Chain A
Amino acid sequence: MDAIYLDNQSNTKLDERVFVAMLPYFKDNYGNPQSMYSLGAEAKNALDAARLKTAALIGAQESEIVFVSCGSEANNLAVKGAATAAKARGRHIIVSAIEHFSVLQAAKRLSQEGFEVTEIPVDRHGLVSLEDVAKAVRPDTILVSIQHANTEIGTIQPIEEIGRVIKEKNVLFHTDAVCTAGTIPLDVKKVGADLLTLSGSQFYGPKGAAALYIRKGVRVTPQIDGGIQEGGKRSGTENLPAIVGLGKACEIARNEMASNAEKMVLLRNRLIGRIPEKIEHVYLNGHPEKRLPGNVNFSVEFIEGEGMFLLLDLKGIMASSGSACASKALKMSHVLTATGVDAAVGQGSLLFTLSRHNTPEDVDYVLAELPAVVDKLRAMSPLYAHFKKTGQRRDAGPGTDYEHEHAHEEN
Chain B
Amino acid sequence: MAFYSEKVMDHFQNPRNVGEIADPDGVGEVGNPICGDMMTFYIKVKGNVLEDVKFKTFGCGAAIAVSSIVAEMAKGKTLDEAKSITNEMVAKELGGLPPNKMHCSNLGADALRKAIDSYLAKKEGK
Contacts and interface: CB of A to CB of B under 8 A. Distances in A.
B110 to A, nearest CB: 8
A410 to B, nearest CB: 12
B59 A406 contact: no
A323 interface: yes
Interface stretch (B44-52, B77-85, B89-97, B101-109): B101-109
Interface string B5-36: 00001001101001010000000011111111
Given A381-B57, A382-B58, A399 B38 contact: yes
Nearest to A311: B13
Contacts of A314: 13
Q: How large is the interface on A (under 10, 10 to 19, 20 to 34, 35 or more residues)?
A: 35 or more
A379 interface: yes
B37 A325 contact: yes
Nearest to A306: B60
B17 to A, nearest CB: 11
Interface of B is mostly: mixed
Contact of A380 (B18, B32, B62, B103): B18
Of A330, A380, A406, most buried by chain B (CB within 10 Å of CB) is A380
Given A382-B56, A385-B56, A408-B103, A307 B30 contact: no
Interface string B42-73: 00000000000000111111111000000000
Nearest to A407: B103
A379 B101 CA distance: 23
A310 B60 CA distance: 9
A53 to B, nearest CB: 38
B8 to A, nearest CB: 10
Interface of B: 4, 9, 12-13, 15, 18, 20, 29-40, 56-64, 100-101, 103-105, 107, 114
